[in-house]
Amino acid sequence: MSPVLRVMGVDPGLTRCGVGVVDVARDRSARIVHVGVVRSAADLPASERLHIIAEGLREVVREFGPAAIAVERVFAQQNLSTVMGTAQASGVALLIAAENGIPAATHTPSEVKAAITGYGSAEKLQVQTMVARVLRLDALPQPADAADALALALCHAWRGGPQPARGGEADEMTPAQRAWRNAERSTRR
Amino acid sequence: MSPVLRVMGVDPGLTRCGVGVVDVARDRSARIVHVGVVRSAADLPASERLHIIAEGLREVVREFGPAAIAVERVFAQQNLSTVMGTAQASGVALLIAAENGIPAATHTPSEVKAAITGYGSAEKLQVQTMVARVLRLDALPQPADAADALALALCHAWRGGPQPARGGEADEMTPAQRAWRNAERSTRR
In this predicted structure, the answer to whether residue A125 has a pLDDT above a threshold of 80 is yes
Q: Report the pLDDT value the prediction gives residue A177, as an integer from 0 to 100.
A: 52
With beta carbons under 8 A apart, name residues in chain B contacting A54: 95, 99
Lowest mean pLDDT among A82-86, A147-151, B41-45: A82-86
What is the tens place of the pLDDT at every residue in B73-132?
A: 988 776 777 899 999 999 999 999 999 999 999 999 999 999 999 988 889 899 999 999
Which residues of B are annotated as part of the binding site for Mg(2+)? 11, 72, 145
Residue-wise pLDDT tens digits, A29-49: 999 999 999 999 999 999 999
pLDDT at B144 over 60: yes
Dihedral Cα B6, B12, B14, B17, nearest 10 deg: -40
The percent of residues in chain B predicted with pLDDT above 90, rounded, is: 69
Confidence of residue A133 (pLDDT cuts 50, 70, 90): very high
User: Which of A54, A74, A164 is nearest residue B45 as measured by Cβ atoms?
Assistant: A164
Q: Which residues of A32-65 are buried (b: 16+ CB within 10 A; e: fewer)?
A: bbbbbbbbbeeebbbbbbbbbbbebbeebbeeee
- pLDDT tens sequence across B146-179: 999 999 999 999 987 444 433 333 344 444 454 4
* Res B134 pLDDT > 50: yes
| Percentage of chain A lying above the pLDDT 90 cut | 69
Residue A52 or residue B143, greater confidence? A52
Mean pLDDT of A41-64: 98
Decide if pLDDT at B63 tops 50: yes
Q: Residue A169: what are its φ and ψ, rounded to 5°?
A: -55, -40
CB contact under 8 A, B45 and A80: no
Categorize the per-residue pLDDT at A178 as very low, low, confident or very high, splitting at 50, 70 and 90.
very low
Question: For residue A93, what pLDDT is reported?
Answer: 98
Of B90, B82, B48, B86, give the one whose Cα is nearest residue A105: B48
Is A145's pLDDT higher than 50?
yes
pLDDT > 70 in chain A, percent: 82
Sign of CA dihedral B178, B184, B187, B188: negative
Q: B50 CB near a chain A CB, below 8 Å? A: yes
pLDDT at B2 (0 to 100): 62
> What is the distance of C-alpha A5 from the center of its chain?
13
pLDDT value for A56: 98
**Count of alpha carbons within 13 Å of A80, Cβ hemisphere only?**
5
Chain A residue with Cα closest to B70? A47
Report the chain A residue with the minimal C-alpha distance to residue B50. Answer: A95
Question: Hey, which residues of B are catalytic here?
Answer: 11, 72, 145
Among A24, A66, A70, A28, which residue's Cα sits nearest to residue A164?
A70
Alpha-carbon distance A163 to A105, whole Å?
Answer: 8
Query: Between chains, do B45 and A76 touch, taking CB under 8 Å as contact?
Result: no
Asked if the B4-188 domain carries CATH number 3.30.420.10, the reply is yes
What are φ and ψ of residue B96, in 5° steps? Answer: -65, -35
Residues of A in contact with B47 (CB under 8 A): 69, 94-95, 97-98, 103-104
Q: Is B68 on the interface with A (CB under 8 A)?
A: no
- Sign (positive or negative) of CA dihedral A170, A175, A178, A179: negative
pLDDT at B107: 95
